[in-house]
Amino acid sequence: MIKHIFTNSAGILFSRILGFLRDLLTASILGANIYSDIFFVAFKLPNLFRRIFAEGAFTQVFIPAYAKSNYKIQFSSVIFLQFLTFIVALSLIVTLFASLITKAIAVGFDSTTVDLASPLVAICFYYLPLIFIVTFLAALLQYKNHFATTAFSTALLNISLITALLLSANLDKYTITFYLSWGVVIGGILQVIVHLIAVKRLNIKFFTSQIKRSQQSFKNSKFYKQFYPAVFGSSSAHIAAFLDTWLASFLVSGSISYLYYANRVFQLPLALFAIATSVALFPTIAKAIKKNDEAKALKYLQKAFYILFGLLFTASFIGIVFNEFIVELLFERGAFVNTDTQNTAMILVMYLIGLIPFGIAKIFSLWLYAQERQGKAAKITAISLLWNIILSLLFIIPFEAAGLALASSLSGFILLHLTLKEFGYNKVLKILKNKF
């Protein structure tokens, strides 16, 4: 398990370093203005789905169902075809109604800004079917205990976007946003290619046209019943960030960009430590619980908890103390000026307040998923998001964008409390006292 955690962390770290280089170039070339806002809005929706799919929801349901299936190739074929058909159809709908979708994502945008953003939304959304293919193949690789390809492949998206920025640096800002949007799609294609290579090397067969005999088995599976709550239940931090963008569209120009840059810094330790740990930990806990070996599952969870808490605490402390220095170092150059640094740094502090609760809730929620209680996890997420909305509406007027980030963090504490309550505070005490 530790090896897999470090493999995931190394891949995520490499990708995030490239991601910060990408953000550094984006801040320098585009700055924090209407053009950066419209690109971030365009990329927000497919990126939200990417995080939900790739960081647990699909895998947490697919792997147990795949393991139990008597017709694995047929089962995976049905899942692949149904999901891909739906997502491609959805992408076509977004293309046809891009203006309406853009208005829904950023209600505060005026008609001129919507017209600027809607072509970018249509282009970026085609990243979604590509990232589904990546996630599907990644789940198969994870079932075979192969994590490296998926962990490192996100770097290809960042390389594609960096290339797009370098090629378009001397063009007008609106044209640059088109280069970035197509860079998103090309990055997705590259990720699909490397996953197909890995699947072929491991000789994993996942598709066949002969699926009739598995239909009854598939209908009886709990896959879809478990999948929809899992999507919602595992995505609280990402949905909260999406809500921040939605509400920030009512604020002054640049607010969306400040939230984006601050959230990018916040997401680094969350992904590097919490998500990497949960991806590696889940198969182990799921197998132990399936065998009714709760003590073994708790031991693994205890080890992960102490490691994760120490890492998240250190990251939060450093980020809060050196917030302005971090933002200045990463972003302050070119069109991104000192005022932008100060605004982003304050928002970063507000986000980092919620790093520990969001991260710890991530690994304890695995217990619910391993027990196939995705519905309960979804209810917990719904309550925390409801509080997020209430707090955001309370804080947006006096504190503006920083208030949205603070509301998100406070909702993380609510998420953690409800998750630990469902997990059982008695088990938490056992973990803390090392008694089981």
Q: Which domain covers residue 255, as residue numbers?
A: 2-430
Q: Is residue 146 a part of any domain in this protein?
A: yes
pLDDT digits (tens, 9 = 90+) for 380-413: 988 998 899 899 999 999 999 999 999 999 999 9
Mean of pLDDT over the chain: 84
pLDDT for 42:
85
Structural domains of the chain, count: 1
Indicate if the alpha-carbon torsion angle 63, 234, 242, 386 is positive or negative: positive
Q: Is residue 24 a part of any domain in this protein?
A: yes
pLDDT for 178:
95
Q: Is residue 304 a part of any domain in this protein?
A: yes
| More confidently predicted of 244 and 391 | 391
Q: Which amino acid, 340?
A: D
Q: Is residue 436 a part of any domain in this protein?
A: no
pLDDT digits (tens, 9 = 90+) for 83-127: 899 889 989 998 999 999 888 877 778 888 889 999 999 999 999
Q: Is residue 328 a part of any domain in this protein?
A: yes
Q: Is residue 25 a part of any domain in this protein?
A: yes
- Answer yes or no: are the C-beta atoms of 344 and 199 closer than 8 Å: no
pLDDT-based confidence at 195, cuts 50/70/90?
very high
Residue 70 class from Cβ within 10 Å (0-12 exposed, 13-18 middle, 19+ buried)? exposed
Phi, psi of 202, rounded to the nearest 5 degrees = -90, 0
Within 10 angstroms of residue 102's Cβ, the number of other Cβ atoms is 26
- Answer yes or no: are the C-beta atoms of 404 and 249 closer than 8 Å: no
